[in-house]
Amino acid sequence: MEKSPMFEKRDFFKLPVSYFSMPMGLIGLGIEVHHFERIIASGTTFSAWIMHLAWLILAAMAVFSFANLLKAEGRQFFKAQWQNSISLLDFPILTLTSLLLLLSLEDFNDGQDLWLIAFALVVIAHTFLNIEILTRWLNDTNLQLQDIRPTFFILLSGNFMVVIVGDFYLPKSYDEFLWFYFSVSLFLWFTFVFILFYRLIFEVSIQDTLRPSLFIILSPPSLGLIAYALLSHATAMSAVTWALFSFATFFLGMWFLMQRFFRKIRLTMIGWAFIYPLASYDVSLQFIYDLTGNPVILSLAFIVMATNITLSSILLYHMTRTFLTRSIVEEQ
């Protein structure tokens, strides 16, 4: 099977789709900090600084990517990513980032139809990606079990984000649609988490350079918890929310105990795979605090948030230096 385009120097200024994990992570971090500021009734605007930085980076990358698509070489590069069944798994980053952008702009939502149209377009695009990816993987005879990778969970995270963002933007009469999306998302998550861990345990282990992507496994159960709490108008923790939280917490603990394997990995753009999943998990912790009022949960949420801010700062420094020197460490 042809390998997915990775972080080669000649590709850096073509901006592979996977590079949008950077603004995706930063917007997720901004939402995480903003929600925490609301919980503790803080008067700080630190989250606003993160949001503005994320929006600026996203806008710059979007303009640069659009300019590249106007060139034949850029279109060919984009087409090569789309036609590769493994690279195709990165494309939900675009719709997930768009959903996060809509959620980060929720304070500016004045109820105009333009916001609903934007949300509908993103949902249509994300639904199309669901169908395209599943169809491609069901019918591509060249794919093998070892081709299954954690990037599948980007698609599943986007599915739960449709429910979360929809709860903010859609009238309550659309709850049936959101429940449908939630149910399908839960089924796909159960399916792919089983397949992935069967592959990791009994087949070829994941490459060292892709180990950070294992953190993406935290996102679907964390976002599923939030989606379920919003849809069910929860006022207390239920068996479903505890189960989803416990699953995410178990794997976060396992990845923490395996930190020696992650420390060996040199920093590249794939390091942003840490940020968004941690932000998702932390927001789920904050939701649990809202439901339980347990100060231990709030303290844990602060620790995860501080860790995420530190990791983001390190990655931003590294990526800025890389951008200025125009050198990218080759991953594969």
What are the strands, taking DSSP E only, across the chain?
none
Q: Please report whether residue 74 resides in a domain.
A: yes
Question: Where in the sequence is the domain holding 138, given as residue range(s)?
Answer: 9-325
What average pLDDT does this structure show over 119-129? 95
Stronger pLDDT, 52 or 196, i.e. the higher one: 52
CATH number at residue 282: 1.50.10.150
Q: Please report whether residue 3 resides in a domain.
A: no
- Tell me: the pLDDT tens digits for 212-235? 778 888 899 999 999 999 999 888
- Structural domains counted in the chain: 1
CB-CB neighbours of 73 under 10 Å: 9
CA 325/CA 319 separation, integer angstroms: 10
Q: Please report whether residue 143 resides in a domain.
A: yes
- Tell me: the pLDDT tens digits for 291-315? 999 999 999 999 999 999 999 998 8
Chain position carrying tokens 């303290």:
299
Say what the pLDDT of residue 111 is. Answer: 65
Query: Cβ distance 247 to 308 under 8 Å?
Result: no
Instruction: Judge if pTM exceeds 0.85.
Output: yes
Q: Of the given ranges (76-85, 134-143, 210-219, 264-273), which has the lowest mean pLDDT?
A: 264-273
Return the axis-axis angle of helices 175-202 and 219-231, rounded to nearest 10°.
160
